[in-house]
Amino acid sequence: MGEVRSSFEDIESSLKKGAAALRDAGLPFALAGSVACWARGAPQSRNDLDFLVCAEDAEAALEALVGVGMRADRPPEGWLLKAWDQAEDGSETLVDLIFGPRGIESVEEVLRRSEILPVAALDLPVVHLDDVLVMKLHAFDEHCCDFAGILAIARAVREQVDWDDVRARTAESPFARAFFTLIEGLGLVGDGPPPVRIAAAAAHPRIVVEGEPSAGDRTDRWQAPARVHEHGD
């Protein structure tokens, strides 16, 4: 299946419905993924909606989402369950229930560290940014290594992140190390100055051709002298 693309309005609607269902079921949970970053100022997500739950609560969480009209989906991966929330126009928003993310030793500890934030007119537990970025960086592999989304997040929320903590917790991942090289080179983190930006005029120098067309040539199109080709080019 290709990448899921939903409108942010649909994601926000599924967020309210899903969070209310998990809350009413009495299950500990927290908003995770790109929408957790959006709650702190990052760009809107167009992919899916992530909730972090404990492994022992995953099936009950899925039942709660089914109870409010979502369609259950049990993928082969052993660390998440999925639900699909259908809008009135027939489009569907994917809701991930994550209970075993890579890079996280204790989901319970991450849930305890979550912060209550106002999200879509609700006060919701939201996974700490450090934990979100650790999960995102650990998700990269040879088949999925597009830094565009996480780079936009890093630009938007960099002052809110303990980058030393994130680096230490992802040090074993070559993809995370590559990401840190990238954001340091861009001047987003670290003590060095941002890279020098070349002005447009300098990047595209003006070409000046010496000489002026003669009076007799002004009625015709004037062209610069032909380029000299060497070595038989």
Per-residue pLDDT tens over the stretch 134-157: 999 999 999 989 999 999 999 999
CATH number of 48's domain = 3.30.460.40
C-alpha span between 115 and 182 (Å, rounded): 29
Q: Which domain holds residue 34?
A: 8-185
12 within a domain of the structure (yes/no)? yes
Which comes out higher in pLDDT, residue 68 or 212?
Answer: 68
Q: Which residue in 164, 50, 59, 167 sits closest to 114, CA to CA? A: 50
Give residue 202's pLDDT band: very low, low, confident or very high (50, 70, 90). very low
128 within a domain of the structure (yes/no)? yes
Q: Which two tokens stand for residue 154?
A: 């890093």
Q: Does 195 score more than 60 pLDDT?
A: no
Number of domains in the chain: 1
31 within a domain of the structure (yes/no)? yes
71 within a domain of the structure (yes/no)? yes
205 within a domain of the structure (yes/no)? no
Q: Which two tokens stand for residue 127?
A: 């996974």
Tell me how crowded residue 117 is: count the other CB atoms within 10 A of its CB: 14
* Residue that has been written with the tokens 């899903």 in this structure: 18
pLDDT at 46: 79
pLDDT tens digits, 42-89: 999 877 899 999 999 999 999 999 999 999 999 998 899 999 999 988
50 within a domain of the structure (yes/no)? yes
- pLDDT (average), residues 4-8: 76
Flag whether the pTM goes above 0.85. Answer: no
